[in-house]
Structure 1
Amino acid sequence: MIIVLLWLLLWTKHGRGSYDCQEMINNAQATPRADVELPVQLENDKYSGCWCRSNEEYDIIVCFGSYECKKFPQLRNHSSVLRVRTTVIERILIGELVRYVNLRHLDLEANHRLTYIEPGSFRYLTKLEQLSLSYNTALQFIDNNTFEGLVNLRSLTLIGNGFTDLDQLTFAFHPILLPSLRALNLAENTFSAIKKYTFSPMRGTNLTKLYINLCRLDDIHPLSFLPLKNLEVLHVGENDLNSSLIGNFLIEMMAHNISLKSLDLSGMGFRKQPPRHLLEIIANTTIKRLSLAQNQFEVIDDDAFPPMVNIELLDLRKVMAMTTGPNAFEPIKFPNLKVLLLGGNNLPGIHSNHLSSQLLCLDMSNNKGNLVTPVYYEIDRDTLIGSSGLRYLNLAFNRIKSIYNYTFRGLEKIRIINLENGTIFYIGPGTFKPTKHLEVLNLANNPLSVNQNITSVQFEGLTELKSLSLQNCGIKKFNDDDNIFEMMPSLTKLILKNNQLYYITAETLKPLKFLEILDLSENLFIAWWNPLFLDAGVAPRQLLLTNNKISHFSISMIQDISYILESNENSSAIIDLMANVFVCDCISMYTTYLWLQVNGSTAVKTFFESSNFQCSSPDIWEDRKVSQYLSSVKSMHCPVYHKISKIMLLVWTIPSLILIIAVLVVVVIVYKYRIYIRYWLFLAKMALGRTFIRKSLKADNNLNKGYKYDAFVSYCFDDRDFILEMITQLETNPPYLKLCVSERDFEVGSFISEAIVSCINESKYILLVISNNFAKSQWCRWETQLAEYHRLFLEDGTTYDPLVLVRIGDVDNKYLTPTLKYLLKTKIYLTWNEYHTENFWKKLRTVLGKKSSH
């Protein structure tokens, strides 16, 4: 997908006449063709014994059959692509291909018993454009007229057969037989040598591409390629050719005006440094694309290359490079260099500005070394600031730990950045802010969420981003309060595959109004209970939810499916729900069935009827389609079961709700009055041993023995000055009383409420210092309540009363609680008089210091 997007990007942005970066990358690195899915099983061909499968459009057919497929299949389908593979066909005869006059692409591959193709067998395939006869190891000979009739054939592939003599093959490629031939691939055969007149039978051909790599060649005559006047692309890599021999045929081609554009010298065994003499010859040719991949140049220093003004693509992948000189690729040597491929080496990063300023594409992927000697990749500050023309940057498969706001500084025109399969766990704020025109960003398979949350500030500036891949990044959720997708309003493709997401919200999706493809497969999604896409107003053309934990369809899910299917210009929407854990029973599916019958549109009904996702349970429905279960609901007594389930649910729910409410009420009451309850429990505990305590105190004839303090002082902090004077008067004069004062005697770290209860229980008297401030304080009111409980509990008919009241100043009646009013009316209290202080302190000492008995 990255390759396709890049091609489209550069094609549409710069026009057909401009430089095509991706075309050069494709020519340099032959990417394998992806096989299409073939879900349709065609009927068994009785004539041949072959089994054949097709795609849903029936335009691609693949036939196979091993020991049963002995003849060429005779199918009635008029497809444009036919592939016959892994059969035991030995001969192909005239007339066996007469059914396939509409074929444009034919592959006969890996048929290891095929030895003979009768001349004229392809006579009827006048529309054929591509033909592959590859990996048929028993095929050692082709007749001169084998390809008769292929007047429109443009590409002929003969890879990995049993051919040993190239001279015998070239007669079959005569331009009269193959007038449209442009590409010929003879790789992986054993030719040993190419002689002077080997290609003479092809004189006058329009061939532009020739692949003879990995053919065990050790000799090529300097004049051998001269008949191929239109040759532009030559692959001779992975052969045993020395640099002098290569230089000789290049000189001759140049002298005879053969304008070679691309030369592949990969895997030729060059060591230590590129062959200087050969590079100087190449520098004087018309070659624009040069591959030196898979050779061995550990150090690429500044003078490794001579000036090469025509080179536009330079492939140095897998050359074991450990370092490159800062001026190795400087513009003065490579003024037209557009594509530089340095992937698969041991380069530790980009540590100096050694890149050509006019580069469009830079591939430095897979520079990670090996498990024994790993390489940790690093990009220095502002290293790329001189590469302002760069459009494509590939840093995938590197051990990059983190990227910062200076990493991509200078890449103002960058369109694609590939950072997949790294070790990135930190993205600094504003990292992508310099890349304001970035359209494709691949961060797949990085541990992004290991040590941080993904935040919007990290993706600031990506207003033109169209494709984002966060596959397998360990993401568990997205934060709606800091929505990263608000930074990407132009996003059309979002890949969130193989993360740990179990839900996503409509708020997260709302900024993605242009989203076309959303991949949520291989996560932990369950059926959602609120509409996502309907509420967000987002209707992707493709929604992939394969291999999640969806067990049933909620109403919200069906509404979202219906919305996506019915959205404008979305008639061909794809919603993939394969490999989920659908439970096919009345509980899970009956509601879905009812909704579809009552509210389902034609589009959503068609979707369910034609769907292929399967049930996972119960056993009787395992591996059968959900659509089959839904069509069988009427005959399964689900309506009766549904009514009984509602009644049973009501029977069990009402008592359970009453019990839960009662428990919650008790819990709330206990929590609210927990301090009082603890104190009452303490008093109850004292009551059990009250008689014992009283007898012990009488025997000791000392009431104070059971108390830590003479008095607990309850006061308001605003009266602190009076309390300090009280401490001085009572603790420094006989009888030297011990007071409990909160600021001084409460244990540090304890709860205030617990400390008050504990100190009251350890004090002989409770001294309430009542003032206007005291009456207004909530804490003081609470202490007063506890003191009253304490007094009432100890009341036993004796003269001992633990409660002592002191009033300072006037107290507003409106602040007095019922308890305070009652105490002030029923108890004698001391009133502070600043004109008779000695008398006041004397009376207070007497009250607190007297000894009483029960």
Structure 2
Amino acid sequence: MAARPPALHQPVALLLAMILLLPPLSTTAKAAAAQPAELRCIPPGAATVAVPGCSWRQHSPLVECSKFPPDAPAPGRAKLSLDVGGGNSVDSRSAVCVTLTRFQRNSCDTCFESLEFRNFTVGWAVIGPRCTERDCPIEVYILESVAALSPLKYNSTSTEFWNFTSPVFREHEIFFITLAFNGITMRYTRCSISLTNIYNLGKTSIEKLVLYNNDNISTDLKLGMMPKLKQLTIANSSILDFPEDAHVLMPALERLDLRDNRLTSIPAAIASMRKLEELNMCGARLRRLAGQLPPLPRLRELSLRNTGLCCLHQEQDAFRGVPNLELLDISQNQLTSLGGALRGLSQLQYLDVSRNQLTEYPQLSIQDCREGLLSFAFNHLRTLPDCNSFCQSSNVLLLDVEHNQISSWDGSADMLRCVSALHLSNNTVSELSATMLRTLDAVSEVELAHNPLRCAGCPLVRLQQWLVGTAVRVLGAPGGGSAGQALRCAAPRNVAGMSVAAVPADPASCRPPPPPPAGAGLALGLSLAGAAALSTAALAAACYRYRFEVAYGAHLLRMRMRASSSRRRAKDVSGTPFVFDAFILYSSNDRPWVVGTLVPLLENGPQRYRVCLHERDFQLGTVIVQNISRSMDHSRHTIVVLSKSFLSSRWCLWEMDLANHRTLDPSQREFIILLELEPLERSALPRHLRFLMDTRTYVEWHQAGDVQYEEQAFRRLKRALGASCFTCSDVSRC
């Protein structure tokens, strides 16, 4: 431990500079003679104590000391904020003297304790030259009054933590803002602090008081006057009652956390806390709300998890006094119904009613569903809700109905229009009808894992075709891959455990039967006409059923005819005017990078490339295969973003196969541009893709986030694309 600085009548700062610039001197006179003027930072009259074990990492705003208080038998840790003043920065070119202001002390003994001050001078530090990122020579001196604050006594039953009448705690001299026991995590050893000690915090400037996991002898909570207190947390401390005059003693309180205590009702004092924004009563023994909550117009978050609530559907006005509530947690209770109890909560964004016994959805009237979450997981629900009973917005809610008993649902195609993501795993869905699939098309993402899917007959064909053609991101199980590979079959027994995509299906067996004859007395001519009409209808139905295959075959035939004609004429005879410079093929898992990085570089750069994205540029109401084929025909190039997600998607590989047939045309050899987003194992590639990567130059873009690397990769991509069709004056070369 460094020695205490010299007496106050001697130039203290001289000694600090010598600690850094010269070997330790034996006399104060030598230190005074050698001290640079710019390091005279400790003012005369300041009684300080040297603190060992301190460090500072360059560019960090904090100084950390591992041995504080210096003379304590079991010292803790301290964090002090730098205040260089005047807008100057601390660097490593020369020795710098800085003021230490914000102070937070932590000590890890029987329970975790932290003490925090704000906006007052704690001490001073001298940061020497030769400071690297991990090795900074530093000397720290702290005020004696701060060093004298010993750690709190955790196992004391006395009536005070320590002497809060100390000048250090005077309200008008400093700001003592936080006192916390086990305030960061609840995994520390339980404390044994008398709740009556909290009374001694009265008349201080404390703003935050936290006490977790306390085995107090007395459960009588007594509060002193704390006019600046904004957050009070007394959790898992066995308190039975809350002071009725708390609203007078804590008039500025905004957050009150009383979780996991033995309270049997909402404290009466809360009714007068007009500034209260958050209330946590989780783990209390409420059972009933006994009428309604008190009027709290500012309350935004209310947690009543695991409080034994059973009959909210009988208390329709319970939440009338909290109309601005945004978060409500009533999970892990005994609720069988909510009825219209939540109908007045028009500002809700987060509702958790999971792990109850609900058999029906509550009545809600949310005015502004701003990317909210409604969780009804682990209940007894048997169907999906209709957005008409929730809100009128589109694609904003995450609806969690996992672990229920949902097997089917009926409704209009837009019944889920307000849902962006639907979590439907661990239910009892065995077959998905055409109506059910149409409703799922309205969402952006659906989770279907761990449902007892029956993979046989027409339901299997319908599901496989939907998984290939839908724009919905379908999640099956952890591990990625396409939805058809991730979803598992539960029946019949011979395919149990197989992926949906791997089960063979016969689309021909699912052709719609011809309609019955109109009557037995029809004439032969009418019969023949009817047969012809039926044949035409059957052919049209078959064409519609196999529209993907028909479009695919037409595309291949067109490519082969174009290639043959091009070989005869030795030029491109497509005659198709290009609308885009490039069509981009990618996996939905790579969409953030494509939309956030690649597309802006191409479209917003000086070349002003025009690119085609399926989600933005496809023609609505057209078969997706036709959209893809038309986009490739109207694009000068196709950029294929290769990744592990791309290779695991059967749909992506099918699109890649469509693009590959374009290269049959000799004039279109450079049509495909391969962009490898991450290193790929060559042995795992499909044969035609491996051939393309072995015989063509491709762009590697592995180090996403490295600016220099990205610039080099982008230059290679631009060389492959050439000049944009829509910025050069000579468009004939496009």
State TM-score, norm by structure 1. Answer: 0.42
Q: Which has the larger radius of gyration?
A: 1
State TM-score, norm by structure 2. Answer: 0.48
Q: Determine which structure has greater relative contact order: mean sequence separation of CA pairs < 8 Å that are 6+ residues apart, divided by chain length.
A: 2
